[in-house]
Amino acid sequence: MKQTKQKTLILNAVLKREDHPTAEMIYNEIKEECPNISLATVYRNLNTFAENGKIRKIEIPNAKDRFDYMVKTHDHAVCRECGKVINAPSDIVRKPRSLKLDGFKVEDVSILYSGICEECQQKHKQRS
């Protein structure tokens, strides 16, 4: 994969963020520095970086994919109100390669917790 200015900007934008950005968030961050970049280019490169193990793609049901700089196996929690994604400690021992599922080869395990973040909980308390 040839490293271009656009690819470098995209990758660096993910690597410096801890908020698990969407492709749109990355696009909005770098489009001023690289005005000719398209959202499609950002999507394509983020997915390629994830496939190559440089970043981690977090697939969230009924929401936009998020991207994470931390590639080692860990879990996430998503707020069902504001959509915020945070890292969650991985207390479960994972041995995916030893798991037998009717011939299915498990390569990775990802757990996504759903709930309400602290900020949204505070908003509920203030309204009550």
Give tens-digit pLDDT for 26-71: 999 999 999 999 999 999 999 999 999 999 999 999 999 999 999 9
Contact 53, 60 (CB under 8 A): no
The CB density around residue 106, as the number of other CB atoms within 10 Å, is 13
Residues 77 and 66 in one domain: no
Contact 49, 11 (CB under 8 A): yes
* Whole-number pLDDT of residue 4: 87
Residues 77 and 55 in one domain: no
Mean pLDDT calculated for residue range 10-24: 97
Residues 65 and 21 in one domain: yes
Residue 49 belongs to a domain with what CATH number? Answer: 1.10.10.10
Give pTM, 2 decimals: 0.84
Residues 65 and 39 in one domain: yes
Residues 98 and 51 in one domain: no
pLDDT of residue 3 exceeding 80: no
Residues 19 and 40 in one domain: yes
Residues 86 and 64 in one domain: no
Domain count, the chain: 2
* Residue at which a domain ends, from 35, 56, 71: 71
Residues 64 and 86 in one domain: no
Whole-angstrom distance between the N-terminal and C-terminal Cα of the chain? 54
Residues 59 and 36 in one domain: yes
> Higher pLDDT residue, 103 or 6?
6
* Residue at which a domain ends, from 71, 99, 116: 71
Domain of residue 91, residue span: 73-128
**What tokens does 115 get?**
């709930």
Give tens-digit pLDDT for 69-119: 999 888 999 999 999 999 988 766 556 556 677 878 777 778 899 999 999
* Residue at which a domain ends, from 55, 71, 87: 71
